[in-house]
Chain A
Amino acid sequence: DTAVSQTPKYLVTQMGNDKSIKCEQNLGHDTMYWYKQDSKKFLKIMFSYNNKELIINETVPNRFSPKSPDKAHLNLHINSLELGDSAVYFCASSQSPGRGRGYTFGSGTRLTVV
């Protein structure tokens, strides 16, 4: 049983396209996150949702829009993809807002924009 699952695992697309990455957790956690890992392996938070409500939105282009239909799902939609969006995107979940009692991470989605 996968605790935090992301789909797709790999995504190759052309500049200007719109794409979505899906994330689901079956841990009953209240809070979900999106992190971006760049080519230098640096991890930076993008968004944080608690019970379907956005609580953190770091400096991320408006082309990125998170959607949380319920507290078990947090999807990431990206419009007008650019070369610089190429990265690995990780979804994570935890028990309550920012409660650092251990995040559970998905295995990542490697996005390549060509």
Chain B
Amino acid sequence: AQSVAQPEDQVNVAEGNPLTVKCTYSVSGNPYLFWYVQYPNRGLQFLLKYITGDNLVKGSYGFEAEFNKSQTSFHLKKPSALVSDSALYFCAVSVSGNTPLVFGKGTRLSVIA
């Protein structure tokens, strides 16, 4: 079984400030973890993934995420938020890459100028 929790429905941050979008996961096996972003009326776009290796992974648009096995977390971060980062963010998990992605419920990020 696999599941993902995104505890925040909405995150508000001022432009230029650091942002964090939280994600925790539960799997029976090795987690393959992903972040996707969805802009209005668009499909999901891949941001970054963790499969193995360094716990800190860097992705598109200046985003990064840190894999923490002991806390079963994979929080998305960016040092300096842009208004254009405002969108819906989804965390997802697969078990060893052998199961379809299961998504969290999404977190709406709003960056205020």
Contact = CB atoms under 8 A, between A and B. Distances in A.
B2 to A, nearest CB: 11
Contacts of B97: 98-101
Contact of A105 (B43, B51, B102): B43
B71 to A, nearest CB: 21
Q: Which of B90, B94, B98, B100 has the most CB of A within 10 A?
A: B100
Interface residues of A, number: 25
| Size band of the interface chain B makes with A | 20 to 34
Interface in B87-109: 88, 90, 92, 94, 97-103, 105-106
A98 B99 contact: yes
A42 B98 contact: no
A45 B99 CA distance: 11
B105 to A, nearest CB: 5
A45 B103 CA distance: 9
Interface of B: 32, 34, 36, 38, 41-46, 49, 51, 88, 90, 92, 94, 97-103, 105-106
Interface of A: 4, 33, 35, 40-45, 48, 56, 90, 92, 97-108
